[in-house]
């Protein structure tokens, strides 16, 4: 069997869902399980609705919900035709009524918690998966809707819940495997799950890719397909650099590194189940399904270019610590990391000197509290609006002088921190967010003016 995941733009309206029907139809002999995101922008809108309700502004929340209801009804009626839609309408209606009731409840309390946020967000994928499953049936594809909340069981860390793999795998075998064996296409929402007691959870923004990989891992898929709005993984984000080229083949390690350092095309956790079970991941374009996309496998063929791709992670804060008292006494770094651990805040890059440490973290609301705790250990300064640029490729480890080429090509960009070596396949550094477009274009020009035709297109 294979897993096919369709992102938000791939299910953004009736026309996009029609394309999904055709793409899936062509793969029926591979026994697909289909995982879908919410329709494009819906998750952002649900976040906004929850926040409005949290401010007791139920009028705004309900107005947004009405517009969303309209959009889903339109897509469904266009896909199903009036006859089928009349029967299906009641199902969507009861979901939207439940959403409105939830929003009114949140507005009455005047507070939105991570738990109620997840309840609100869960509607995006619940609705899209329902419509896609109905569209499959209307288009003659034998399909069944599977409620992700009954399969994707997580811990209770709302908004970024961690999957409980043993529990999930048992449920996938019990609920999804039999459908596949009967020739039915299971359809489920990505991104959402539930706790062991059935409370809805979400696994982090952009998490439908991860859901697809969890399902693929649990069912030992032959392949995980990530269908999106670009031709595959590219040499950089095409929105930043229109000259970006498609990468035909890339290794698990390279793709994982790129995803971790901001290549939004894959959620950073996607590669974990794939690597564990050695399942190839293909990134494909639902608007251009004939294109071969990118194949991500354990070993990629040799590439003549020094690097494969440039990733950018924005919204980074640099934290500088100057240890006046402890002068790098042993145990100092441990105490520093304990602070980040206490705030459950991952650190991306670290660099040290005799008396100072610089670290980068994702910008977040807890930074003042983190700085306050760090103040007890050292003098603290922090600055936001930074970005990590990360150049990835397996050749990095054996290309002499690569750092010189990188920094030489962006000589007039102010570089705040550098890291090379931790993984041997990346060079990363921190710059101001405002310098990102220029730096990426210069680097792209330097490293991809000529490309190895076996690897890039
Ligand atoms: P989906 O809704 O299908 O999950 P996303 O918006 O999450 O799609 O991811 C696709 C987007 O990722 C692309 O439109 C592109 O702008 C962005 N992106 C960033 N880095 C890369 C890259 N290296 N290769 C391809 N796309 C990238
Ligand atoms: N709909 C979710 C989001 O926008 C999950 C996803 O699209 O992968 O974050
Ligand atoms: Mg995505």
What's the pLDDT band for 105 if we cut at 50, 70, 90?
Answer: very high
Q: From the CA of 239, how far away is ligand 1's center (Å)?
A: 9
Return the pLDDT at 422.
Answer: 72
Return the pLDDT at 353.
Answer: 81
Neighbour-count burial for 361-379, b at 16+ CB within 10 Å, e otherwise: beeeeebeebbebbeebbe
Angle at 248 between CA 242 and CA 251, to 5 degrees: 115
- Using the predicted structure, report yes or no on whether residue 250 has a pLDDT greater than 70: yes
Measure CA of the first residue to CA of the last residue in the chain; give whole Å. 29
Q: How far apart are CA 340 and CA 268, in angstroms?
A: 20
Give me the mean pLDDT over the 430-441 stretch. Answer: 97
Q: What percent of the chain clears pLDDT 90, i.e. is strictly above it?
A: 91
- Model confidence pLDDT, tens digit, residues 320-350: 999 876 666 778 889 999 999 999 999 999 9
Give me the mean pLDDT over the 357-363 stretch. Answer: 93
Q: What percent of the chain clears pLDDT 70, i.e. is strictly above it?
A: 99
List the residue whose alpha carbon is closest to atom 10 of ligand 1. Answer: 265
Structural domains in the chain plus CATH codes: 2-229 (3.40.1160.10), 309-447 (3.30.2130.10)
- Relative to the alpha carbon of 283, which ligand is closest? 1
Give me the mean pLDDT over the 302-310 stretch. Answer: 96
What's the order of all strands across the beta sheet hosting 417-420? 347-352, 356-362, 309-322, 379-392, 426-432, 417-420
Say yes or no: CB of residue 393 within 6 Å of ligand 1.
no
DSSP H helical segments within 152-251, as ranges?
Answer: 165-171, 177-181, 208-218
**Enclosing H/E stretch for 43:** helix 42-54
Q: Kindly list the protein residues whose Cβ atom lies closer than 6 A to any atom of ligand 2.
A: 7-8, 37-38, 43, 124, 190-191, 205-208
Q: From the CA of 161, how far away is ligand 1's center (Å)?
A: 23
Q: From the CA of 142, how far away is ligand 2's center (Å)?
A: 26
Q: From the CA of 114, how far away is ligand 2's center (Å)?
A: 16
- Using the predicted structure, report yes or no on whether residue 397 has a pLDDT greater than 80: yes
Q: How far apart are CA 46 and CA 64, in angstroms?
A: 8
């Amino acid at each position: 069997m294979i897993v096919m995941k369709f992102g938000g733009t791939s299910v953004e309206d009736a026309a996009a869902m029609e394309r999904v029907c055709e793409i899936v139809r062509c793969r029926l002999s591979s026994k697909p399980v289909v995982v879908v995101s919410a329709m494009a922008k819906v998750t952002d809108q649900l976040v906004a609705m929850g926040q409005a309700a949290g401010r007791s502004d139920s009028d705004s929340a309900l107005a947004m919900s009405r517009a969303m209801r309209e959009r889903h009804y339109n897509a469904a009626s266009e896909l199903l035709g009036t006859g089928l839609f009349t029967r299906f309408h009641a199902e969507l209606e009861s979901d939207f009524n439940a959403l409105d009731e939830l929003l009114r409840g949140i507005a009455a309390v005047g507070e939105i918690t991570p738990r109620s946020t997840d309840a609100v967000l869960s509607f995006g994928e619940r609705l899209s998966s329902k419509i896609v499953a109905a569209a499959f049936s209307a288009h003659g594809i034998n399909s069944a809707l599977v409620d992700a909340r009954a399969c994707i069981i997580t811990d209770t860390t709302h908004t970024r819940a961690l999957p409980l793999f043993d529990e999930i795998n048992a449920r996938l075998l019990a609920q999804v495997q039999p459908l596949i064996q009967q020739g039915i296409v299971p359809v489920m929402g990505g991104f959402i799950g539930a706790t062991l007691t059935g409370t809805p959870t979400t696994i982090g923004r952009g998490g439908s890719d991860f859901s697809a990989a969890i399902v693929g891992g649990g069912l030992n898929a032959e392949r995980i397909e990530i269908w999106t709005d670009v031709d595959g993984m590219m040499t950089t984000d095409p929105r930043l650099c229109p000259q970006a080229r498609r990468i035909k083949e890339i290794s698990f390690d390279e793709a994982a590194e790129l995803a971790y350092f901001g290549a939004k095309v894959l959620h950073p956790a996607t590669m974990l189940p794939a690597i564990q079970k050695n399942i190839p991941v293909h990134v494909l374009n639902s608007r251009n399904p004939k294109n071969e996309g990118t194949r991500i496998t354990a070993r990629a063929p040799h590439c003549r270019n020094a690097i494969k791709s440039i990733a950018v992670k924005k919204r980074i804060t640099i934290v500088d610590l100057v240890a006046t008292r402890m002068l790098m006494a042993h145990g100092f770094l441990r105490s520093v990391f304990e602070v980040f651990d206490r705030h459950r805040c991952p650190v991306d890059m670290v660099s040290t000197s005799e008396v100072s440490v610089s670290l980068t973290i994702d910008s977040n609301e807890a930074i003042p509290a983190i700085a306050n705790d760090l103040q007890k250990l050292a003098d603290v300064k922090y600055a936001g609006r930074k970005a990590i640029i990360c150049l990835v490729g397996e050749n990095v480890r054996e290309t002499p002088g690569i750092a010189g080429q990188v920094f030489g090509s962006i000589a007039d960009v102010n570089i705040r921190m550098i890291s090379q070596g931790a993984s041997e396949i990346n060079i990363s550094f921190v710059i101001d967010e405002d310098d990102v477009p220029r730096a990426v274009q210069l680097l792209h020009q330097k490293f991809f003016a000529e490309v190895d035709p076996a690897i890039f297109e």
